[in-house]
């Protein structure tokens, strides 16, 4: 009996990937899947028996046998009616199944990408190429179920047709063997074309990017002011041609071999007719059977080959990428058997941590060895490219260190489940996303269980100093953000940034609060007042035993007037930590921090 939980680890990779996708369809709509498959098989029989009814009809006419004529007439009538009826019902059931399973497939892929522990798959070019092709294929993956049903139906027709031919003479079964080259070329073609398609995935992504740049609103002003529109169109065309060139040559070569394979079958078909008519001196009925069955055999093989090619090119190819994404996602958290603490008592330690982005050898962080004390407000500063954002990404488990360890009260962060760790994490980032929801929800997603808790959202807005933004919205927190939606309003970049900051303040008691230049669009005085107020509030929070609640606040900023309030300042330069201390300590040392602080202070005079 079919079970969606059946183990597939012993299956070959191709079958395993197909089996996984079948399980998704079965889990989503088991009864519709069974009905669609059954109807496809039953609908194949009347069509396959048509050659037999034609043989009996001709034989009845030649022999003046009314019994055979009646059988043939009834058979033809039933076959025609049943074929029409079953195809109509089957098509409706299959469309119903496809519509429902499409939602399940798209949801599954979206969930997988969103739940991957790290963000490497969204930043590595090789992974992006795979995901780009998968995203293109996901919208046709629903067709593969119908293709599988059709393939089984065509195979059943082939079986019946070959049996009819064998009833005349066993040697006619060889006619099916001559069709094997067409099957082989059909299964081979999509594979070589897929390799070429992947080679052209990068210029294809570039072509899509250039197209969006030339046709969408966000870059519209700069495209028009700079007059770069014609250049974008030209470069987009060139990128598309580079992408297509990878595939075109392979398609011509594969088409040649596929045509040759069909020529082999065509020659065998003509030989079969000559053999039956001249060699066997068969009856006119049998000759008609060979003509009808052989012609239908050609059509059935063509349809089967086409469906197999589709399965090979879309199902097998797309399902393999889907399985890759599933297994990639599962592998990243496979050893995460640790427990996320309720609070941090001692602190977070980066123990000789080095990191290079996947696919590169350049260390973005090198041998970082620093202790982030519990309950402290810690500033991370440094020039552009010093590794500040990467430092934050590692703490948020967006990546794992290339070498070294991150310890939370002595326990390895790498052993803690990413989802559980991030439940105790809050933050706002410079490259924030604009959630074009109602303002209340755009803030509330910072703590999904309290998404619609108006009081919690209001508190977060106050923490972020975003009250002025809400006051200017036409319907307050119920205002739809984004001018492209009915009743939606446009807000400035700075206002979007305050909304994002409020979203980062939704969680009341995070273990780690990360503020990665989230107020870059605000003036220095506003930023300073905001963080000073929040840092003061963070230090006041205490646990029931009088000990600080242990929250660690990481503040990344390029404004030294803001970071001076921090309990500890970590200075990064050239991927290394070069200084650690309070503002007073670092100024006394007269090192790099003091130099940068002096330069910036002079600029504000």
Query: DSSP state, 118?
Result: S
CATH (domain of 149): 1.20.1560.10
Q: In 3-state terms, what secondary structure has residue 405?
A: strand
Give tens-digit pLDDT for 554-581: 988 777 777 888 889 999 988 889 999 9
Number of domains comprising the chain: 2
> 280 in a domain, yes or no?
yes
Token pair, residue 215, equals: 């046709």
305 and 217, same domain (yes or no): yes
118 and 234, same domain (yes or no): yes
- Give the integer Cα–Cα distance in Å for 285 and 283: 5
Q: Is the dihedral of CA 59, 65, 68, 74 positive or negative?
A: positive
Report whether 513 contacts 427 (CB < 8 A).
yes
CATH (domain of 592): 3.40.50.300
- Give the integer Cα–Cα distance in Å for 73 and 511: 81
pLDDT at 2: 41
> 68 in a domain, yes or no?
yes
Residue by residue, DSSP assigns 441-495 as HHHHGGGGGGTT-HHHHHHHHHHTT-HHHHHTSTTGGGPBBSTTSTT-B---HHH
Helix axis angle, 180-199 to 229-274, nearest 10°: 170
- Give the integer Cα–Cα distance in Å for 279 and 25: 51
68 and 18, same domain (yes or no): yes
Between 198-207, 228-237, 311-320, 554-563, the lowest mean confidence (pLDDT) is in 311-320
pLDDT at 547: 37
Q: Which residues does 316 contact at the CB level (< 8 Å), separation at least 6?
A: 14, 17, 18, 190
pLDDT at 349: 93
300 and 372, same domain (yes or no): no
Report whether 175 contacts 294 (CB < 8 A).
yes
Q: Rounded to the nearest 10 degrees, how much is the dihedral formed by the CA atoms of 203, 206, 211, 216?
A: 160
pLDDT at 542: 46
Of 269, 295, 329, the last residue of a domain is 329
Give tens-digit pLDDT for 130-177: 565 566 556 666 667 777 788 888 888 888 878 877 777 787 777 777
Q: Is 220 left (phi over 0), alpha (psi -120 to 50) or beta?
A: alpha
> 447 in a domain, yes or no?
no
Mean pLDDT of the chain: 78
> 382 in a domain, yes or no?
yes
320 and 398, same domain (yes or no): no
58 and 140, same domain (yes or no): yes
Residue bearing tokens 């029409």:
84
- Average of pLDDT values for 93-99? 81
- Provide the residue range defining the domain that includes 86: 13-329
Phi, psi of 427 (to 5 degrees): 175, 165
Q: Quick count: other Cβ atoms within 10 Å of Cβ 221? A: 9
Q: Residue 189 pLDDT more than 70?
A: yes
Distance set, CA 535 to CA 5, 378, 446, 551 (Å): 50, 10, 20, 11
- Average of pLDDT values for 311-337? 66
> 6 in a domain, yes or no?
no
* pTM assigned to the model: 0.62
> 480 in a domain, yes or no?
no
pLDDT at 312: 64
Between 243-257, 329-343, 352-366, the lowest mean confidence (pLDDT) is in 329-343
Distance set, CA 96 to CA 27, 100, 474 (Å): 15, 6, 43
Of 295, 329, 363, the last residue of a domain is 329
pLDDT at 282: 64
156 and 188, same domain (yes or no): yes
Report whether 343 contacts 549 (CB < 8 A).
yes
100 and 229, same domain (yes or no): yes
- Average of pLDDT values for 86-111? 79
300 and 365, same domain (yes or no): no
Put the strands of the sheet holding 377-382 in their side by side order. 425-429, 512-516, 552-556, 377-382, 568-573, 576-581
> 456 in a domain, yes or no?
no
Q: Is 409 left (phi over 0), alpha (psi -120 to 50) or beta?
A: left
Phi, psi of 322 (to 5 degrees): -65, -45
CA neighbor of 393 nearest in space, from 593, 554, 501: 554
> 336 in a domain, yes or no?
no
Q: In 3-state terms, what secondary structure has residue 351?
A: strand
Q: Is the dihedral of CA 468, 471, 472, 476 positive or negative?
A: positive
38 and 152, same domain (yes or no): yes
- Average of pLDDT values for 24-36? 81
514 and 419, same domain (yes or no): yes
Q: Please report, in angstroms and rounded to a whole number, the separation of the first and last CA atoms in the chain.
A: 79
269 and 365, same domain (yes or no): no
Question: What is the SS3 assignment for 137-186?
Answer: HHCCCCHHHHHHHHHHHHHHHHHHHHHHHHHHCHHHHHHHHCCHHHHHHH
Give tens-digit pLDDT for 245-299: 777 878 888 888 888 888 888 888 778 777 776 766 666 767 777 777 766 776 7
């Amino acid at each position: 009996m079919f079970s969606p939980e059946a183990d597939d680890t012993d299956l070959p990779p191709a079958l395993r990937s197909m089996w996984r996708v079948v399980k998704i369809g079965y889990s989503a709509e088991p009864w519709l899947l069974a009905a669609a498959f059954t109807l496809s098989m039953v609908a194949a029989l009347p069509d396959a028996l048509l050659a037999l009814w034609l043989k009996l009809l001709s034989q009845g006419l030649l022999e003046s046998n009314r019994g055979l004529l009646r059988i043939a007439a009834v058979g033809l009538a039933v076959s025609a009616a049943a074929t029409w009826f079953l195809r109509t019902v089957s098509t409706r059931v299959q469309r119903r199944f496809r519509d429902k399973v499409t939602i399940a497939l798209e949801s599954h892929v979206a969930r997988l990408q969103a739940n991957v522990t790290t963000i490497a798959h969204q930043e590595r070019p090789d992974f992006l190429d795979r995901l780009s092709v998968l995203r293109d294929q996901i919208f046709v993956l629903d067709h593969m179920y119908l293709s599988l049903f059709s393939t089984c139906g065509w195979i059943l027709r082939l079986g019946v047709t070959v049996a009819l031919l064998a009833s005349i003479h066993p040697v006619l079964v060889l006619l099916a063997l001559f069709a094997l080259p067409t099957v082989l070329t059909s299964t081979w073609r999509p594979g070589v074309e897929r390799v070429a398609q992947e080679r052209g995935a990068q210029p294809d992504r570039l072509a899509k990017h250039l197209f969006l740049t030339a046709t969408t609103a966000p870059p519209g002003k700069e495209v028009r002011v700079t007059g770069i529109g014609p250049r974008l169109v030209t470069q987009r065309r060139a990128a598309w041609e580079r992408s297509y060139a990878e595939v075109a040559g392979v398609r011509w070569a594969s088409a040649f071999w596929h045509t040759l394979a069909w020529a082999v079958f065509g020659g065998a078909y003509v030989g079969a007719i000559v053999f039956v008519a001249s060699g066997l001196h068969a009856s006119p009925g049998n000759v008609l059977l060979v003509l009808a069955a052989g012609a239908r055999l050609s059509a059935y093989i063509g349809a089967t080959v086409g469906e197999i090619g589709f399965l090979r090119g879309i199902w097998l190819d797309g399902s393999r990428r889907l399985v890759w994404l599933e297994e990639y996602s599962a592998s990243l958290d496979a050893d995460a058997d640790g427990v996320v603490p309720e609070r941090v008592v001692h602190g977070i330690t980066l123990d000789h941590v080095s990191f290079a982005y996947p696919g590169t050898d350049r260390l973005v962080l090198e041998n970082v060895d620093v202790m982030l004390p519990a309950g402290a407000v810690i500033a991370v500063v440094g020039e552009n490219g010093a590794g500040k954002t990467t430092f934050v990404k590692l703490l948020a488990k967006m990546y794992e260190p290339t070498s070294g360890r991150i310890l939370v009260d002595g326990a390895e962060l790498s052993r803690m489940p990413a989802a559980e760790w991030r439940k105790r994490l809050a933050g706002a980032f410079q490259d924030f996303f604009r959630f074009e929801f109602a303002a209340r929800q755009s803030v509330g997603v910072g703590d999904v269980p309290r998404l619609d808790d108006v009081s919690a959202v209001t508190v977060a807005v106050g923490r972020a100093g975003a009250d002025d933004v809400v006051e200017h919205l036409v319907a307050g927190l119920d205002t739809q953000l984004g001018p492209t939606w009915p009743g939606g309003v446009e807000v400035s970049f700075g206002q979007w940034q305050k909304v994002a900051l409020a979203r980062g303040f939704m969680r009341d008691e995070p273990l780690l609060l990360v503020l990665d230049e989230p107020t870059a669009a605000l003036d220095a005085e506003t930023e300073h007042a905001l963080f000073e107020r929040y840092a003061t509030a963070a230090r006041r929070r205490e646990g029931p035993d009088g000990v600080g609640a242990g929250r660690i606040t990481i503040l990344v900023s390029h404004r030294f007037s803001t970071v001076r309030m921090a309990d500890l300042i970590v200075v990064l330069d050239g991927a290394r930590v070069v200084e650690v201390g309070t503002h007073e300590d670092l100024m006394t040392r007269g090192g790099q921090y003091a130099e940068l602080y002096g330069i910036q202070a002079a600029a504000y005079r």
